[in-house]
Amino acid sequence: MKALILVGGFGTRLRPLTLSRPKPLVEFANKPIVLHQIEALAEAGVKHVILAVSYRAELLEKEMRVEEARLGIKISLSRETTPLGTAGPLALAKELLGEDEEPFFVLNSDIICEYPFKTMLQFHRAHKKEGTIAVTKVTEPSKYGVVVYEEATGEIGRFVEKPKEFISNRINAGMYIFNPSVLKRIEVRFMSVEKEVFPFMAKDSELYAFDLQGFWMDIGQPKDFITGMGLYLTYLHHSHPHLLTKGEGIVGSVLVDPSAKIGAGCRIGPNVVIGPNVVIEDGKRRVHNACKYALMDAWTYVD
């Protein structure tokens, strides 16, 4: 099975984090953003991941060769010479995505969640239609384009942009599964999957909604990146507490890279991520009342 991850943007919304590295390689909880997705895809049985890239592809390729060997999967780069939007990259990678009849995943690279890919694939195979969109619940649907669908079956009827009255509180979560037949709907040009593909699939009764459970965040902007970090730490606390750092001076959900050096008498947490090679001198504090969530990137020094 294959997956395509849309990583072709310049990451302008996430500056300054993307000034020195492409967005997919920006570390989120001490791991490149895109690696969270690739590892989850590999665990779900995906054997070939295609990265739709345009910006600083050489850095991505170098990093992905290492991960390819570690995970035992194939990672290919599909290079855009001009921006192709959210649909055009699928057509550009048509030879790879359409070489068999297996469905494939498509992901926006800004999404962090629990990645229930196995359950989502089971749902897709069960309804036997052309496409599945993961949808997530929001508290203020009037700020978004919402997805209207039959709760009993998941069949999507329509999309409504920023509704004035309540009609749905589910939005597109940026994760999809398609059958290869969807490639007939897409051209190699700048094309929006949300506006130029999904409405026509829904009209043909070929598009279904998978209701995403658990936390979800689009971390494409700095404030959402930090909020997403807090949600992720809370998820680890409840589901994978062994991955969090424990010990004297650690309070709540804290993630510390093994290469970081923390002095005596420090109080760290809650909701803190400390990156590689960070040095914190004796008696320093990173506490909840100083900032909602704290992120200390690589080579930070606190005296």
135: number of Cβ within 10 Å: 25
Q: Is residue 82 classed exposed, middle or buried when 0-12, 13-18 and 19+ CB atoms within 10 A define those classes?
A: exposed
Contact between residue 278 and residue 7 where contact means Cβ atoms under 8 Å apart = no
Q: Catalytic one among 162, 184, 203, 261?
A: 162
Residue with tokens 């997403």: 228
- Inter-CA distances, 232 with 28, 139, 184, 213, 214, Å: 9, 19, 37, 14, 10
Q: Are strands 216-218 and 111-113 parallel, antiparallel or unpaired?
A: antiparallel
In whole angstroms, what is the distance from residue 216 CA to residue 218 CA? 7
- CB-hemisphere CA count at 13 Å for 108? 22
Chain Cα centroid distance, residue 29: 13
- Catalytic residue flag (residue 195): no
Bridge partners for 208 per DSSP: 132, 155
Token representation of residue 140: 């203020």
List the catalytic residues. 162
